[in-house]
Amino acid sequence: MVMPGETLATGASPKCSDCGLTPQLQICRSMAGYYVGTYCECGPYSRESDYYKTAEQAQKALDSGEFGR
């Protein structure tokens, strides 16, 4: 379940309040797998999708706009 304000789609600020950047969607990687998310100068900002096994699967979701949590 996604909490209100946890993702950009559910109301998170599009601009980081610490560094002032507006992070862009990209493919990110964590120990859990690949995901569509954002990074700013402060580090990981948001995780917009579920996890994917490969970067290619995550990129396909980002390209199609068909991702979410």
Query: pTM for the whole thing?
Result: 0.89
* pLDDT mean across residues, the chain: 94
The whole-angstrom separation of Cα 24 and Cα 47 is 12
Q: Could you read off the pLDDT of 18-29 as tens digits, one per residue? A: 999 999 999 999
- Cα distances (angstroms) measured from residue 49 to each of 19, 20, 39, 57: 23, 23, 14, 11
**41 in any annotated domain:** yes
Q: Could you read off the pLDDT of 36-56 as tens digits, one per residue? A: 999 999 999 999 999 999 999
Question: Residue 69 has what pLDDT?
Answer: 85
Average pLDDT, integer, range 4-20: 92
By residue range, what is the domain housing residue 35?
8-64
**50 in any annotated domain:** yes
| Count of structural domains, the chain | 1
Chain-centroid distance of CA 28 in Å reads: 7
